[in-house]
Chains A and B, each alone.
Chain A
């Protein structure tokens, strides 16, 4: 019964003026590729992530969180997409700056702190 109610509520949103037939929903849905690509990049070493783009994304998502909140009608989907993008891009940015890398299980700066041993030349 609750499932039917949930379904009918979803249907009335999806067919309504801010639903799946409108740009109000598809704009944010297309922007959802950004946090998803950020999540896909979690396994990459921080050198392979663009610090320029990550910093730009952090600023961009902050501004669009406020935009989505203040636009009429309020766009919760866009807000949610940019909240998640801000979180994942901030994680990548702190990794690039030497912070903690959950995938590698250590601080990203530790890799640079221990230089590889130089091959010894026989005397």
Chain B
């Protein structure tokens, strides 16, 4: 019997211990869901959701200053997310949406203003 000398693949237990699953690696990573570095940019989606919930708000009650600030910060952060190393696509995505909702509310205000001017 040459079983002692024939190379055998490691048993299931050894494989599981040697290579942690990708999900586990992600959860325990230094920018993973156990850290603030994951949740703080993720919570930026709350700004997008708030902007979307405000779609039905009457135009006079929408704040121009706040939407200008949101559009500007969203645009700048979206650009910077592609320039940093490593590129942060999730941060870029959320900031694109922050900018888009800000610009949408500003467009609503502009449209209403043009309508009152031409009337």
Contacts and interface: CB of A to CB of B under 8 A. Distances in A.
B61 A47 contact: yes
A33 B46 contact: no
B68 interface: yes
Interface residues of B, number: 32
A60 interface: yes
Interface residues of A, number: 30
Contact of A63 (B36, B66, B84): B36
Interface stretch (A48-56, A103-111, A113-121): A48-56
B62 interface: yes
Interface of A: 23, 26-27, 30-31, 33-34, 36-38, 40-41, 44, 47-50, 52-53, 55-57, 59-60, 63-64, 66-67, 70-71
Given A27-B80, A41-B65, A57-B47, 12 more contacts: A31-B73, A31-B77, A34-B70, A37-B68, A49-B63, A56-B46, A56-B50, A59-B43, A60-B46, A63-B36, A63-B40, A70-B35
